Chain A
Amino acid sequence: MARRTVLLALAAGLAAVSAIWMLQGLPSGPARGFVLGLRAERLAGLVLVGASTGIATILFQTVAANRVLTPQIMGFDALYILLQTLLVAALGIAGFAALPVWAKFAGEVGVMALLSSLLFGALLGQGTRDIPRMILTGVILGVMFRALNAFIGRVLDPNEFAVVQQASFASFSKLDATLLPAGLVLTLVGGISAARMAGRLDVLALGRDSAISLGLRQGRFVPMVLALVAIMTSVATALVGPITFFGLIVAGLTHGMMRSARHADLLPAAALIAAITLVLGQLGFERLMGQAGFLSVGIEFAGGLFFLFLLIRGRIR
């Protein structure tokens, strides 16, 4: 039951970090309630982003049969942002603004799930072993989606562009709080479905051929998992914008800490570790170093170095 202990310790760690987040340097007097509300909102956002990124990364790595690929490296987040721009371009400002927030979000996430399970299912489902080529494809697809996004942004009229910019300009210090309820529901639904799939995911992790011979309907299961990945990645991207290497760090930490191949252990551990990392990181940058917007830069730096380390050590195959 050592794994159970690790999970409990992680949960306690998250609770402790959250308590520090809420209470550190709290002003007394009438401002207290306001500050507490503000902090609670942002804490919820960070935990949601962490949980969804952690779960999405573990799911994706199982489908890809590789511990280096993450949804962000494969361009999922860029696809989401492109989709948002296309939506504004298609509906116009009036149509975009008339939709209620949750309906818009649900629609985007739905289209995203469909598109990415088609696109990446075709890439991943064949059981390809040329992982480096896959990574390169994903990175270049990401570059292309971003450039297309910039292109459409330029062709839009300035008012529509302003709407797009507002919708896609989220960061750790400027979390998009209007999406919190919808994000919470989606993360919960996604997390519970992932947990219910844990057994089948363990089978899938044995490899394509073993999974099929054990009776897993691989052709139907893989697109389903990818759709889940798309939903979780959309939630994270919508709340704080793209962060390329975060999933990689989380997956590395999770595998290092759990030393287990069972998804019933890996999924909750990844969610907890990601949430702790984000809250601690934001706490450090914002309160200790006084630099609010730099968690994402710090993550890119550390994650990039970690990736290069894996690469030089020959762990990327």
Chain B
Amino acid sequence: MRLVPAGLAVLALLACASLTVGAASVSILDATRDPRAALILMESRLPRTLAVILTGAALAVAGVVLQALVRNRFVGPETTGTAESAALGLLAVSVWAPASPIWAKMVAASLAAMAGTALFVAVIRRIPVREVMLVPIAGLVLSGVIGSVATFVGWQTDLLQYVNAWLMAGEFSGVLAGRYELLWVAAAAAGLAWFAADRFAILGLGEGVATGLGLSPGGVMRLGLAVVAVVTAMVVTTVGMIPFVGLVVPNIVARVMGDNLRASIPAVAVLGAVLLLACDLLGRLVRFPYEIPVGTILGVVGAMIFLWLLYRRPAHG
């Protein structure tokens, strides 16, 4: 299948469209002559388009890694408590050491996200293996519990507004040059996942097989958790929660390409970017010049795709 070239072509088209759509009525083609158009292009339109592409790709890759780690197709970084834990970590730093530099806050958020995801893995290990559908349910409930802790702490410390901004439907309308660069870190983490793709694919066969093939399951597990945590923490703190990308894109790619992660991770990344950029564009066009957050659009579109996946697959998944 030529999924990657086809996806890249669609992505290029969408990116061009994204560069020309915006509230300011300027022609981007004049950017070389018109300084105002150049300013809008470089400060707003281009950063936004890049931010959407980076987020979509990174989240989709985090999703495929997570699904390999827990050996279940119905989970994503947004349904396992990872995002809520990142918010809780960020909250802790903001309360105890509000003056710490941005990198320290990001490290704290990532560590908390990693701890939250590890908690999820610990919980689902105690669920009978054959109960495929119970794993995502456990994740959703766990994220609700962690989210209620974050809400409580945020309310106690008068930081509820921040918590809500992190955990509400994500949107890119606030992205300007200088405000999205953390997403490059997320993309770098996703790139790291591609280098270790074979290890994740082997771990996805089960811990016994992985050990038999000479792989240390614990180490790969920690690496995978770190990738998922860093991607989610960066995305949540920069643009807010983006639902369903990490959940449905790996499923769609796996239907076509199977589970060879070395081959499928590029396709997952491209399709994740395509899905998110298409939804973002839709959100910008439905009520032009106003915007609907991409998280809201994806909540509807993604839920429909997910329900379709749920009923298309046989019950044993």
Which A residues are closer than 8 A to B by beta carbons? 130, 132-133, 135-137, 139-141, 143-144, 146-148, 150-151, 154-155, 244-245, 291, 293-294, 297-298, 300-301, 304-305, 307-308, 311-312, 314, 316
> Can you add 15 more A-B contacts, CB < 8 Å, to A139-B140, A314-B128?
A143-B299, A143-B303, A144-B303, A150-B296, A150-B299, A154-B296, A155-B286, A293-B155, A297-B155, A298-B148, A304-B141, A308-B123, A308-B141, A311-B134, A312-B126
Which of these, A143, A151, A307, contacts B141 with CB under 8 Å?
Answer: A307
Contact assessment for A154 and B287 in the assembled complex, using a CB-CB cutoff below 8 Å: yes
User: Which one of B34-42, B92-100, B187-195, B304-312 is at the interface?
Assistant: B304-312
Contact assessment for A308 and B138 in the assembled complex, using a CB-CB cutoff below 8 Å: yes
**Complex interface residues of chain B between 159 and 175 (CB less than 8 A to chain A):** 169
Smallest CB separation, B155 vs chain A (Å)? 7
Separation of A199 and B223 alpha carbons in the complex (Å): 57
Separation of A297 and B140 alpha carbons in the complex (Å): 16
Smallest CB separation, A74 vs chain B (Å)? 12
Give me 8 A-to-B residue pairs in the complex whose CB atoms sit less than 8 angstroms apart, sorted by A's number: A144-B303, A147-B303, A148-B299, A150-B299, A301-B145, A301-B152, A304-B145, A311-B127
Smallest CB separation, A112 vs chain B (Å)? 20
Q: Across the interface, which residues of A come within 8 angstroms of B303, CB to CB?
A: 140-141, 143-144, 147
Q: Across the interface, which residues of B come within 8 angstroms of A291, CB to CB?
A: 155
Residue pairs across A and B with CB atoms within 8 Å: the count is 105
From known contacts A150-B169, A294-B152, A312-B127, infer whether A136 and B141 are also in contact, taking CB-CB under 8 Å: no
Give a binary string over B86-128; 1 marks a CB under 8 Å from any A CB, 0 the rest.
0000000000000000000000000000000000000100111
Decide yes or no whether B266 CB sits under 8 A from chain A. Answer: no
Contact assessment for A147 and B296 in the assembled complex, using a CB-CB cutoff below 8 Å: yes
Smallest CB separation, B158 vs chain A (Å)? 13
Q: Chain B: which residue is nearest A139 at the CB level?
A: B140
Q: Chain A: which residue is nearest B303 at the CB level?
A: A144
Decide yes or no whether B142 CB sits under 8 A from chain A. Answer: yes
Q: Across the interface, which residues of B come within 8 angstroms of A293, CB to CB?
A: 155
Q: Chain A: which residue is nearest B143 at the CB level?
A: A304
Q: Across the interface, which residues of B come within 8 angstroms of A297, CB to CB?
A: 148, 151-152, 155
Q: Chain B: which residue is nearest A314 at the CB level?
A: B128
Q: Chain A: which residue is nearest B296 at the CB level?
A: A150
Contact assessment for A132 and B133 in the assembled complex, using a CB-CB cutoff below 8 Å: yes
Smallest CB separation, A213 vs chain B (Å)? 27
Q: Across the interface, which residues of A come within 8 angstroms of B306, CB to CB?
A: 140
From known contacts A143-B243, A305-B145, infer whether A136 and B296 are also in contact, taking CB-CB under 8 Å: no
Contact residues of B: prevailing secondary structure: helix
Smallest CB separation, A152 vs chain B (Å)? 10
Decide yes or no whether B149 CB sits under 8 A from chain A. Answer: yes
| Interface residue total, chain B, C-beta cutoff 8 A | 41
Decide yes or no whether B315 CB sits under 8 A from chain A. Answer: yes
Decide yes or no whether B6 CB sits under 8 A from chain A. Answer: no
Smallest CB separation, A305 vs chain B (Å)? 6
Q: Across the interface, which residues of B come within 8 angstroms of A147, CB to CB?
A: 169, 243, 296-300, 303
Contact assessment for A151 and B296 in the assembled complex, using a CB-CB cutoff below 8 Å: yes
Decide yes or no whether B144 CB sits under 8 A from chain A. Answer: yes
Separation of A121 and B277 alpha carbons in the complex (Å): 37
Q: Across the interface, which residues of A come within 8 angstroms of B144, CB to CB?
A: 244-245, 300, 304
Q: Across the interface, which residues of B come within 8 angstroms of A316, CB to CB?
A: 134, 137
Contact assessment for A136 and B137 in the assembled complex, using a CB-CB cutoff below 8 Å: yes
Q: Chain B: which residue is nearest A68 at the CB level?
A: B137
Which of these, A137, A143, A294, A308, contacts B310 with CB under 8 Å?
Answer: A137
Q: Across the interface, which residues of A come within 8 angstroms of B131, CB to CB?
A: 132
Separation of A155 and B287 alpha carbons in the complex (Å): 7
Contact assessment for A301 and B149 in the assembled complex, using a CB-CB cutoff below 8 Å: yes
Q: Chain B: which residue is nearest A144 at the CB level?
A: B303
3 A-B pairs closest in CB distance: A147-B299, A132-B133, A144-B303
Separation of A135 and B136 alpha carbons in the complex (Å): 10
Q: Chain A: which residue is nearest B147 at the CB level?
A: A300
From known contacts A294-B155, A297-B152, A314-B128, infer whether A136 and B310 are also in contact, taking CB-CB under 8 Å: yes
Smallest CB separation, B305 vs chain A (Å)? 10
Q: Across the interface, which residues of B come within 8 angstroms of A300, CB to CB?
A: 144-145, 147-148
Contact assessment for A311 and B300 in the assembled complex, using a CB-CB cutoff below 8 Å: no
**Complex interface residues of chain B between 65 and 94 (CB less than 8 A to chain A):** 74
Residue from A135, A146, A311 whose CB has the most chain B CB atoms within 10 Å:
A311
Decide yes or no whether B292 CB sits under 8 A from chain A. Answer: yes
Q: Chain B: which residue is nearest A308 at the CB level?
A: B141
Q: Across the interface, which residues of B come within 8 angstroms of A294, CB to CB?
A: 152, 155
